[in-house]
Amino acid sequence: MRSTGGVLVAAGEPGPCPRCGAILHVQKTRRRLAFTLDLGHFIAREALHVCVEGCLENGKPLTRRATVLAERLPPMGNVGYDVLVYVGLARYLEHRQREEIRTTLREEHGIALSTGEISVLAHRFLAYLEALHEACADKLRRALEQDGGWPLHIDATGEDGRGTLLLAFAGWRHWVLGAWKIPTERADAILPRLREVVRRFGDPCAVMRDLSKAMTEAANALVSELGLRIPVLPCHVHFLKDVGGDLLRPSHDQLRGLFRRFRVRPALRALARGLGRALGADISEARKDLGAWQVQSDQGHALPEGATGLATVRAMTQWALDYRFDGDDLGFPFDLAYRDLYNRCLIVARAADAFLRRPLADPRTAKALNRLRRVLHPVQSEVPFEKVAATLRERDELFTELRGALRLRPKVEGRNVRGPSVLTADHAASELRDIELRRSPESAGVCSTEEGQWSRTCAG
């Protein structure tokens, strides 16, 4: 490909006709506007070659395009493959909006596309990705076979009147093997998709499902059709959600009702907004002074004066409102949002009490701190907050113990940080042996022979 005054000419010998071996001659030369990331927008001039003997391909004259251009642009398309991939990754992996993608393409690559074209490219990216997934099915199947088998995990979730999304993936490698929109979660809609997965990737060594009736029927029907002696296991996450909901929801709902009854959160938000308006343009400088005050070792439980004191009270208020950062983003019952709010309110109330034990020289800071203390006073009362929180705390301890027994642990090393998503072979074998040792004689007697054989095979 060479450039001629802003026009890129796609050159290159097309070679002989693949059917008869005759030479290919130029049928016509066409020009079109094109866009790629490395070249920006340009005019491509391409020569189309046809067989001199009139060979046909799919009922039409056999034609050959310039390879260098065919690798960059789809047939009859103006936007290059690299732009299509860029849009797809930005839309579905980076979760960027169409206007953001459009602006970046224009400013960084000189490519001007409409938001409608961005949508078209995003949908086309998914179609190409699906075709690539199907084309690589044999390679994926061989990789799964080399692992000694693979457990099939299946789950479905509703989308607020927009149908149901069914997902199937290989549990050990965490590879998504198929995803489909189905009209509703019914066994007759799920089973054909499971057959398709097995046809492409082979028989699984186990099936992991949720607790719904449709999933249970579909998984059992699949195993029966295949004639396999493999376990069909209920998912620990769904089991824990059901148990945790029954165990924790009454107390958690009572605690939420108390916070709403005493309007604690609205009062805290109003206080934070009011202090922000009072600080006005001085808020940036006050934040810096607050940071410097926090690192001092000789504070003596005394608040600073002036704008820094107001910023300190505002920071205490906002910290109580940021209670959701104590969770793991797993949702109820794994995250107890109002339990976390209760704990933070207690900590802030105790800190306010400590600061109020000493006279405050700044009246504005003293007024703001007293107001914060009044807002949090009901939370410290034994009735009704403390009794409900104590019940919730005891039940959460039982639930946490159950999570540990079922190997569904909370996130570690801070918020949103997990260990490795795929266990090593030694780690997985160690955990399976530990589970086998911890089984009680009663539970071991209930387990099926197939499940025990499967566990021993995985551990070995």
Q: Are both 62 and 30 inside the same structural domain? A: yes
- Please determine, for residue 431, whether its predicted confidence score (pLDDT) is greater than 80: no
Q: Are both 213 and 280 inside the same structural domain? A: no
Q: Are both 125 and 176 inside the same structural domain? A: no
What integer is the mean pLDDT of 307-334? Answer: 92
CATH of the domain at 222: 3.30.420.10
Q: Are both 433 and 400 inside the same structural domain? A: no
SS3 at position 182 = strand
- Please determine, for residue 445, whether its predicted confidence score (pLDDT) is greater than 60: no
What integer is the mean pLDDT of 122-128? Answer: 94
Q: Are both 251 and 397 inside the same structural domain? A: yes
Strand (E) positions, 286-405? none
What is the per-residue pLDDT for 417? Answer: 46
Q: Are both 439 and 336 inside the same structural domain? A: no
- Say if residues 113 and 66 touch (Cβ distance below 8 Å): no
What integer is the mean pLDDT of 431-443? Answer: 56
- Say if residues 151 and 174 touch (Cβ distance below 8 Å): no
Residue ending a domain, choose from 234, 260, 292: 234
What is the per-residue pLDDT for 13? Answer: 59
Mean pLDDT computed over every residue of the chain: 83
For residue range 156-173, list pLDDT tens digits in order: 987 666 778 999 999 889
Burial class (CB in 10 A: 0-12, 13-18, 19+), 368: buried
Q: What percent of the chain has pLDDT over 70?
A: 83
What is the per-residue pLDDT for 422? Answer: 56
- Please determine, for residue 123, whether its predicted confidence score (pLDDT) is greater than 80: yes
What is the per-residue pLDDT for 217? Answer: 95
Strand (E) positions, 52-97? 56-57, 60-61, 63-64
What integer is the mean pLDDT of 330-340? Answer: 93
Q: Are both 390 and 256 inside the same structural domain? A: yes
What is the per-residue pLDDT for 163? Answer: 77
What is the per-residue pLDDT for 428? Answer: 65
What is the per-residue pLDDT for 359? Answer: 85
Residue ending a domain, choose from 234, 257, 273: 234
What is the per-residue pLDDT for 290? Answer: 86
For residue range 59-72, list pLDDT tens digits in order: 777 777 767 777 78
User: Considering the domain boundaries, does residue 99 fall inside one?
Assistant: yes
User: Considering the domain boundaries, does residue 318 fall inside one?
Assistant: yes
What integer is the mean pLDDT of 410-436? Answer: 57
Q: Are both 305 and 432 inside the same structural domain? A: no
User: Considering the domain boundaries, does residue 241 fall inside one?
Assistant: no
SS3 at position 42 = strand
Q: Are both 263 and 365 inside the same structural domain? A: yes
Q: Are both 93 and 158 inside the same structural domain? A: no
Q: How many CB atoms lie within 10 A of CB 142?
A: 11
**Global pTM?**
0.67
Domain that holds residue 435: 425-459
- Please determine, for residue 416, whether its predicted confidence score (pLDDT) is greater than 50: no
User: Considering the domain boundaries, does residue 417 fall inside one?
Assistant: no
What integer is the mean pLDDT of 255-284? Answer: 93
What integer is the mean pLDDT of 167-182? Answer: 92
Q: Could you tell me which of 380, 457, 453 has the C-alpha nearest to residue 149?
A: 457
User: Considering the domain boundaries, does residue 146 fall inside one?
Assistant: no
Q: How far is CA 390 from the centre of its chain?
A: 33
pLDDT band at 2 (very low <50, low <70, confident <90, very high): very low
User: Considering the domain boundaries, does residue 198 fall inside one?
Assistant: yes
What is the per-residue pLDDT for 448? Answer: 37
Residue ending a domain, choose from 208, 234, 260: 234
Q: Are both 273 and 201 inside the same structural domain? A: no
What is the per-residue pLDDT for 4? Answer: 43
User: CA dihedral in degrees (99, 102, 103, 109; nearest 10)?
Assistant: 170
For residue range 249-266, list pLDDT tens digits in order: 999 999 999 999 999 999
Q: Indicate if the alpha-carbon torsion angle 404, 405, 407, 408 is positive or negative.
A: negative
Q: Are both 308 and 263 inside the same structural domain? A: yes
- Please determine, for residue 404, whether its predicted confidence score (pLDDT) is greater than 80: yes
User: Considering the domain boundaries, does residue 143 fall inside one?
Assistant: no
| Cα 330 to Cα 75: distance, rounded to the nearest angstrom | 45
What is the per-residue pLDDT for 299? Answer: 62
- Say if residues 386 and 258 touch (Cβ distance below 8 Å): no
Instruction: Give me the number of domains the chain comprises.
Output: 5
User: Considering the domain boundaries, does residue 418 fall inside one?
Assistant: no
